[in-house]
Amino acid sequence: MAIVTLTMNPAIDSAARTDRVLPTDKLRCGAPRFDPGGGGINVARTVAALGEPVTAIYPAGGHTGAFLEQLVRESDIPAHAVATAEPTRENLAVFADDSGEQYRFVFPGPRLTPAEQHRCLAAVERYAAGADYVVASGSLPPGVAPGFYQVAADVAAAHGVPLILDTSGPALRAIRRGVFLIKPSVRELAQLVGRALPDRDRQVAAARELVDAAIAEIVVVSLGAEGALAVTAERSRWFVPIPVPVRSGIGAGDAMVGGIAVGLTRGYDLDDVIRLGIAAATAALTTSGTAPGLRSRIDRLYEEQRRTAALVTEAD
């Protein structure tokens, strides 16, 4: 297998449309869409869409957990589900037709017991042997200590497997060493370093602090409509975004991580790794719910970037 993903706080992502969002009134919605969700599962869906082998590890419990497992199977993603006593969470996104705004309601998730957490780490250890990369993505549910992802990174490192991490808040602050690549948003990076990052120079400086501290070898900062930064010890580069009409922004960051993981697995140089990540994120923006982009569209966007030299400038 090439890539293993870990999702500690998966969800059933429900999405629907309504005419407008108002207080108190009943809001009549269209038919709902249900997707398997959570950072690592979304990453796995993009990896699978790009035709690379992937295994998704995640906890699941209750009737919602059974439904999540069904949705993952229907996505044709090999998976290892760790049974939990408490039920898997559901999230809701509602698109208002009158304003074009999307409203997202995100719930905390089940409380995992120490034994359940241990079984998740045991699954990582099992599948890491023979993997090219482990991707840990998403929030941590109640009951899981912020240092959990550091333990996962240590487990992967013990097998010589690089870990890619996409998380935020206390879970990101708890990382001390040994992550291969971290992908914070600029907002998450600012929260991590404790100061505003209003311009490119300060964004690069903050990302390089993580590299200099040996927290990560590569920091990819997603800048939303302004593109992305890739920072290593030797260089920093800025990549322009691809403008497209947005149908849903949910899961686009996860799609970027999926594209990055695929590019690394294929042995691309770092510039092309980031281009593939941007292409995957852009394609996801044009789909409904949290669906990944079609492989044909991702490939076309990637090749367009290569032809037009989407690498704009050294960011330093």
CATH number at residue 305: 3.40.1190.20
CB 238 within 8 A of CB 313: yes
Report yes or no on 26 lying in a domain.
no
Report yes or no on 23 lying in a domain.
no
CB 92 within 8 A of CB 113: no
Q: What is the dihedral of CA 181, 10, 113, 166, to 10 degrees?
A: 10
Query: Domain limits at 53?
Result: 3-18+32-311
The number of domains in the chain is 1
Report yes or no on 27 lying in a domain.
no
CB 87 within 8 A of CB 61: yes
Give Cβ neighbours of residue 23 (< 8 Å, ≥ 6 apart): none
Report yes or no on 67 lying in a domain.
yes
Report yes or no on 153 lying in a domain.
yes
Give the mean model confidence (pLDDT) for residues 129-137. Answer: 96
Reference 116, options 135, 141, 147, 137; nearest CA is: 141
Write the CA distances from 71 to 31, 50, 63, integer angstroms: 17, 19, 12
d(CA 118, CA 217): 27
pLDDT digits (tens, 9 = 90+) for 88-116: 999 999 999 999 888 999 999 999 999 99
Q: Sign of torsion, CA 133 14 141 254? A: positive
pLDDT digits (tens, 9 = 90+) for 45-89: 999 999 999 999 999 999 999 999 999 999 999 999 999 999 999
Report yes or no on 25 lying in a domain.
no
pTM higher than 0.85: yes
Query: What 8-state DSSP symbol labels residue 224?
Result: G
Q: Which amino acid is at 207?
A: A
d(CA 208, CA 20): 44
pLDDT above 90 (res 225): no
pLDDT above 80 (res 315): no
Q: Which of 254, 269, 271, 299 is catalytic?
A: 254
- State yes or no: is 254 an active-site residue: yes
pLDDT above 70 (res 175): yes
Report yes or no on 24 lying in a domain.
no
